[in-house]
Amino acid sequence: MSTAHSTPAPLQLSDSPAESRPGSSAPALVVCDLGKRYGSVTALDGVELTVRPGELVGLVGANGAGKSTLMKIACGLVRPSTGSARIFGAHSDTREARRMLGYLAELFRFPGWCTGSEVLALHQRLSGSRGGPAERSELLELVGLSDAVDRRVEEMSKGMQQRLGIAQALVGEPRLLLLDEPTSALDPAGRRRIRTLLLELQARGIAVLLNSHLLGEVERVCDRVVILAGGKVVIAGRPDELTTPGGVEIQTGHGTRRFPDARRADVPRIVAQLVASGVEIYEVTMSRSTLEDVYLELVDPT
């Protein structure tokens, strides 16, 4: 879903980063005391979240944690029960906010008979973008679909359709992307392509809020991670802040030796002691907990 632009400008993704545009000093997204209830069910409960310009933030949590609800509120599809969401300072349910964001839903569908170029042309009309063929060509090149301009959607692989979905979210030069499970059902090669694309978008100054169940992907690509459980933020921070050192593992001629309380500074001393005692050293590895470890401890401690 691309959003409307009342005064569209030529596409300048490669040389016009978000920081240089009017209003870019405001955070890309600010969620303040956000709450959403569906009858007796509380989907979100006092959520606080900030995404800065050019930042890639991962949103993770179990099914029903409130991730997609937060996304839909941020792009103006759902109204909050309490609190607010702002896009570069504008309320999320306003036309001004929608001009500055692009959205890819988890369960999107494009008409199978349309070509990649026709899908983008349709979303240009819906958003009011006047980028024309030049914008379509640049976006298809950006997502690696230059050779699929005339290929029908029904002839595309799942990975190609996902990349086309990201291309349509970029129609009209948004400054914030909301991506709901963009790597779902993709094979490892497809996930790698999407990961590379996300880093390219970040390098161009575009902020991204990424909702994903793939914790390894989030840990590798995101600047910060926000974990939701029961509609609340249970922890947030950089991946290296959330994970903890797990000691040292040394591969020796007699098997693996583990030193769970050791730190990096302890390695030379440990190795020297082992060598002095006649032990052959083949590999030294610093262990560290993963984002999945942190997630399971917080969300599913059983």
Give the model confidence (pLDDT) of 275-297 as tens digits.
999 999 999 988 877 888 888 88
Q: Backbone phi, then psi, for 37, in 5-degree steps?
A: -120, 140
| Overall pTM > 0.85 | no
Residue 206, pLDDT > 60, answer yes
Quote the distance between the C-alpha of residue 120 and its chain's center. Answer: 22
Span 243-259, average pLDDT? 87
The tens digit of pLDDT for each residue in 156-190 reads 988 889 899 999 999 999 999 999 988 876 788 88
- At 195, the pLDDT band (50, 70, 90 cuts) reads confident
Span 136-159, average pLDDT? 91
Side-by-side strand order, sheet with 29-38: 41-51, 29-38, 82-87, 90-91
- At 1, the pLDDT band (50, 70, 90 cuts) reads low
Span 89-101, average pLDDT? 92
Quote the distance between the C-alpha of residue 73 and its chain's center. Answer: 17
Report the topology of domain 18-240: Rossmann fold (3.40.50)
- At 13, the pLDDT band (50, 70, 90 cuts) reads very low
**Cα(71)–Cα(234) distance, integer angstroms:** 18
Residue 225, pLDDT > 50, answer yes
Higher pLDDT, 243 or 124: 124
| pLDDT of the residue at 301 | 63
Distances from the Cα of 216 to the Cα of 60, 73, 240, 290, angstroms: 11, 26, 13, 8
Residue 300, pLDDT > 80, answer no
Distances from the Cα of 131 to the Cα of 127, 137, 167, angstroms: 11, 10, 13
Q: Backbone phi, then psi, for 239, in 5-degree steps?
A: -55, -40
| pLDDT of the residue at 241 | 87
Higher pLDDT, 17 or 269: 269
**Cα(42)–Cα(206) distance, integer angstroms:** 31
Residue 155, pLDDT > 90, answer yes
- At 77, the pLDDT band (50, 70, 90 cuts) reads very high
- At 16, the pLDDT band (50, 70, 90 cuts) reads very low
| Structure-token pair, residue 168 | 């349509």
- At 302, the pLDDT band (50, 70, 90 cuts) reads low
| pLDDT of the residue at 11 | 39
Numbered ranges of CATH 3.40.50.300 in the chain: 18-240
